[in-house]
Amino acid sequence: MSERIFLSTFVVKVLDRNKHEQILSRFNETEDFFNTFCQFTEEIFVHMERQADLSNTSTLHLTLDAPAIVNSAERRIYGFFSSGVSGEKFIIRDIFTNETELEVEPDIHGSFRELFFYLVVPRDRHIGYLILQRKSKFGIKTNLKRSLNRYIRDRGFLNYSVEINNLLNSQVYERMMQLGSLKKIDFIKRKIPNSAEEYLNNNGNTYNTNGTLRVSISTNSGLSDFWKNFVGRHFRNHNDNTRIEIGGDDGALDEMEFELELSGKKKTFHVVNHQRTQPDIDVTSNLDFENNEPTIASLIRESQSLIDDMLEVRLNHV
């Protein structure tokens, strides 16, 4: 297995010019967003989507290497987006022989990654549920949102826009805290001691050197209820962007991070900077692999599980 597999959870909405949420299965009175999204994937499979990145220094590409799989009866579609970037000239070498394999030209070559997606659009509701794979800090949300909105505009729906928002709310945290286990806590300071002796014999002295000091406690079996209550109390009560006081002359922390696990899914939460808590879930241990790649059947299973179980969404009740 070459890398951890993360799936990120989002809600999809269609808004009118006044920012009013539309019924997805009949926005603009007769249009069904599920069909629109399916047609969008068909379009970019044939004609690759291209647009400048936000800094206008590179070109982003979006396509599919194979048509998406559509289940109209269950109103779900899934497959793999191929997301790429071009605009930089460099050389690809064989790392064992140091021989040049390819001289990458910015106008004709791009670097692409396949990312799994899974979308469910309930009928007669305002939101759909979207799962996107993330790879090594490489995501697709912004590129997909911009591409979808351009596609909708090109079809003449100038009064509507698509929103793709993180689906990470208190419901996720509460469920994982109540039913899951606490695997790890990181205590973080933005100052470091000048020596190991100073660290081991602090005696109330404040560290003054810039840097990051991270102290971790972890266990495979799960930390005790004492530690669960400890991080839970700070997570619920902490004021944003202020240091965490935990006692002692130098007890203040700049951040506390903790990892919860439920049904094989792992999630890291941040006490001080709540906004850093991203909507991705580590599902690696729940997937089946062939040739070091997750099977599509297990990706589908975990995606639906994220919608049904983790987020407590029942599609036949929404």
What the block records as the tokens of 294 is: 């997750």
pLDDT (0 to 100) of residue 318: 37
Q: In which residue ranges of the chain is pLDDT below 70?
A: 1-2, 52-59, 84-95, 98, 100-112, 136-138, 168-171, 202-206, 239-241, 247-251, 275-276, 309-318
pLDDT (0 to 100) of residue 241: 58
Q: Please report, for residues 75, 77, 122, the alpha-carbon distance to residue 315 in angstroms, rounded to integers and kept in the order given.
A: 10, 15, 7
pLDDT (0 to 100) of residue 125: 93
d(CA 114, CA 116): 7
pLDDT (0 to 100) of residue 316: 37
Q: Which of 282, 277, 263, 287 has its CA nearest to residue 181?
A: 263
